[in-house]
Structure 1
Amino acid sequence: MKLKLKWSGKRTLIAVALLAGVLALYAMGAQKRQEESRNGTDPTAGTGTAQCRVASTVDGLNVRSAPALDPKNVVDQLGLGEEADAAKVVQNGFRKLVDGRWVSVRYVHTVQGRQC
């Protein structure tokens, strides 16, 4: 049995529009994955599987709400040797933690066996 299709202008236009829609959705997904990778966003954050983990090298390390030296943005402190899951993002001398807070890179080191 042979199937013959007549590709009228209307059918061709519909097929092209569907294909363009699928390609646009794919591109948006790829762009989002690339942006998450660039920003250090970890979709597994909170599941205990963060790749980057840092430990404080001082007692009373300020944890900040933004990557800037400002007494108003201190939201917490880490004790000596205290660990935290971190992103691979470093900005203005601060490393982003997976919860969106920041610590100075001068006072943390990468936990052995983890990549940052």
Structure 2
Amino acid sequence: MSKKTLLILGALVLVVIVYAMNTGKQASGASATGCKVTVTADVLNARESADGNAKIVGKYLRDAQFDAMPGVQNGFRKVADDKWVAAAFTQPVAGSAC
């Protein structure tokens, strides 16, 4: 085989390996923050701050799972920049570090 063929073949193998590794991480349910929660309410409002009167910036439906920050502030859990949910309506996923 020529060097060009070997390089192309090596690049393809590398792409397959990286793809397989990334797929495995997504399937494992690993959380970037170490905290993953499930929504227990029928509809859970996401607010722009840790205040029940703050502007609603999104909604989650029952059984939705998403990453969150460990810890609770004023009864709310931070899930993203300017996005908070009422902690009373979430349940940490088993094995999660919330």
TM-score range, shorter chain: 0.5 to 0.7
- The one of the two structures with greater contact order (alpha-carbon pairs below 8 A, sep at least 6) is 2
Q: How does 1:1-116 map to 2 (within 5 A)?
A: 48-70=31-53, 72-97=54-79, 99-100=80-81, 101-116=83-98
Q: Distance in 1 between matches of 2:48 and 2:37?
A: 17
- Determine if contact 2:40/2:63 at 8 Å carries over to the other structure: yes
How far did residue 90 of structure 1 move? Answer: 1.2
How big is the alpha-carbon RMSD for the aligned residues of Structure 1 and Structure 2?
A: 1.7
Runs (5+) with no aligned partner, structure 2 = 1-29
Q: Following superposition, which runs of at least 4 residues in structure 1 exceed 4 angstroms of deviation?
A: none
The structure having more radius of gyration, on CA atoms, is 1
Q: Distance in 2 between matches of 1:106 and 1:51?
A: 19
Runs (5+) with no aligned partner, structure 1 = 1-46
Q: Aligned residues, how many?
A: 68
TM-score w.r.t. the length of structure 2 is 0.63
Residue in 1 aligned with 2:16?
A: none
